[in-house]
Homo-oligomer: A and B are copies of this chain.
Amino acid sequence: MSKDASLKFHMNLGMLIRSAHNSMTERFVQNVFNSGLDISMDQWMVLGPIWQLESPSHKDLGEICLRDKPTITRIIDSLEDKSLVVRVSDQIDHRIKRVVLTKAGKQLFYDVLPIMEKTREEVRGEIPEEQIEIFKNVLSKIIKNLNS
């Protein structure tokens, strides 16, 4: 057996993916910090969809953000602690909690948006658009491959 034949692909892929992900969040957090704002990557990941969807349920958020229920609960907890969102029970289905941005939450969202934009540019660097497209495409396919 040759010493690096089959070995390389899978190992590297996992390691590369983790490392890229880490670097991205790290950079985002740093950019946020440098702007004097205060929001974690996780919180931001949820804040966006809340803004987009107006008043999503935890479940909606979990599906969009691809995270499990406890994680969503806790992130919402932390956002609520900071008075960025409020939980509102659904009028008809009392199991469902809808999440709504407060004024401060909206403000923070608008403040962070350009930072996200900046981070996005830094992440992309010189990588051509069509490669990014393929990249995202492959990611989606991988996720699909593994959940069926």
Asked if A4 contacts B52 (CB within 8 A), the reply is yes
Asked if A138 contacts B143 (CB within 8 A), the reply is no
User: Does A103 belong to the interface (CB within 8 Å)?
Assistant: no
Interface of A is mostly: helix
User: Does A134 belong to the interface (CB within 8 Å)?
Assistant: yes
Q: A119-B10, A123-B10, A146-B122 are in contact. Are A134 and B136 (CB under 8 A)?
A: no
> Interface residue tally of chain A, by bracket?
35 or more
Give Cα A23–Cα B138 distance, bound, in whole angstroms. Answer: 14
Give Cα A29–Cα B33 distance, bound, in whole angstroms. Answer: 36
User: Does A14 belong to the interface (CB within 8 Å)?
Assistant: yes
- Interfacial residues of chain A within 100-148, with CB under 8 A of chain B in the complex: 113, 116-117, 119-120, 122-127, 131-132, 134-147
In the complex, which of the residues B6, B11, B13, B139 contacts A16, with contact meaning CB atoms closer than 8 Å? B139
Show 12 A/B contacts (Cβ-Cβ < 8 Å), sorted by A. A9-B120, A10-B120, A11-B49, A13-B120, A14-B25, A19-B143, A20-B142, A21-B21, A23-B143, A125-B141, A135-B135, A135-B139
